[in-house]
Amino acid sequence: GNINKISSSGGQPLSARNCPFRSLSQLYLNLILLLLISQDSSFGPDAFRRIMVPSVPWYRERVLKDITLGSLLLLTLLRSIIFNLNRIQDAFLLSNCCAVLMNVSPHVVKLHEYAAMRLTFVTLSSLKKYSLVIARNDGTEDDLTTPVGMYGEVARTLLGVIRHCLSPKNLKSNLRVVYALVYHQAEFRDIFKKATLKSIKPDLVCIERVIKVANQLIHEYGDAHTPSKAYEALKGNIEKILEVSEAINEPG
């Protein structure tokens, strides 16, 4: 629903059935610990490249098997952000989730296909809401207790994660993210047109260019009617996407 007032205990009442954690204090503690751990220089690389989780029985939205700890971390943070925005609107929790994401974003590689889709979907959702609350003049950018501040922080953080995924250093290991962007290209086209989002235009231009070249490569492949075929088309033409990424990330 619409957010009229943001507070640490706002939103609908929590119960054992609709709350994904035992208590707010437990969630605070977990996020603070995660923030501290994510500041370790080896945590990001190990989480996304080395540590595999064979199964995740507690994750109910989707059966997850053989997923990296990093992909699982991303999914968990995205779920926490969505729950926070929709239900409790807590600025402290939001800033901590975003801080963890920023700490690990340079190391995001080999994302699970579901994690790549969720990252793209939640980014789109936050951009749409951000545009809406800006148009309503619902708060200020520097105040995380207002809708503009909250959705702006989430939008910029998630766009930053995607930019790192599309960087020349990480692109080859993030073709699932490229595919997810192409899959949602119609919604992104609507986002690109919104004048309210001019403050994050550079990040949107990067995504727009990658979507354009990747979509063209998939169509030229001719037989890319399934995700696996589309992935083959992208993998076989990675150098062309890399050229775009390098051009976007050139200094100056």
What pLDDT score was predicted for residue 196? 83
Tell me how far CA of residue 147 lies from CA of 110, 123, 190, in angstroms. 33, 16, 21
What pLDDT score was predicted for residue 7? 29
Q: Give the predicted TM-score (pTM) of the model.
A: 0.87
Can you read off the two tokens belonging to residue 141?
A: 């950018």
Alpha-carbon span 93 to 97, nearest angstrom: 6
b/e sequence 88-109, b meaning 16+ C-beta within 10 Å: bbbbebbbbbbebbebbbebbb
Can you read off the two tokens belonging to residue 94?
A: 């939001």
Can you read off the two tokens belonging to residue 61?
A: 């939205």
Residue 110 DSSP one-character state: S
- Return per-residue pLDDT of the chain as tens, 252 residues: 333 332 233 334 444 445 555 677 888 898 999 999 999 999 999 999 999 999 999 888 889 999 999 999 999 999 999 999 998 899 999 999 999 999 999 999 999 999 999 999 999 999 999 999 999 988 888 889 899 999 999 999 999 999 999 999 999 999 999 999 999 999 999 999 888 888 888 889 889 999 999 999 998 877 667 888 888 889 988 999 999 999 887 765
CB 191 within 8 A of CB 146: no
What pLDDT score was predicted for residue 170? 95
What pLDDT score was predicted for residue 223? 67
What pLDDT score was predicted for residue 106? 96
Which amino acid makes up residue 46? D
Can you read off the two tokens belonging to residue 179?
A: 């595919």
b/e sequence 178-191, b meaning 16+ C-beta within 10 Å: bbbbbbbeeebeeb
Backbone torsions φ then ψ of 173, nearest 5 degrees: -95, 10
Beta strands in the chain, from DSSP E residues, in sequence order:
52-55, 65-68
Alpha-carbon span 148 to 134, nearest angstrom: 6
Tell me how far CA of residue 166 lies from CA of 159, 188, 248, in angstroms. 10, 16, 10
CB 85 within 8 A of CB 150: yes
Q: Which helix (H) or strand (E) holds 88?
A: none
Alpha-carbon span 35 to 39, nearest angstrom: 7
Length of the chain: 252
Which amino acid makes up residue 20? P
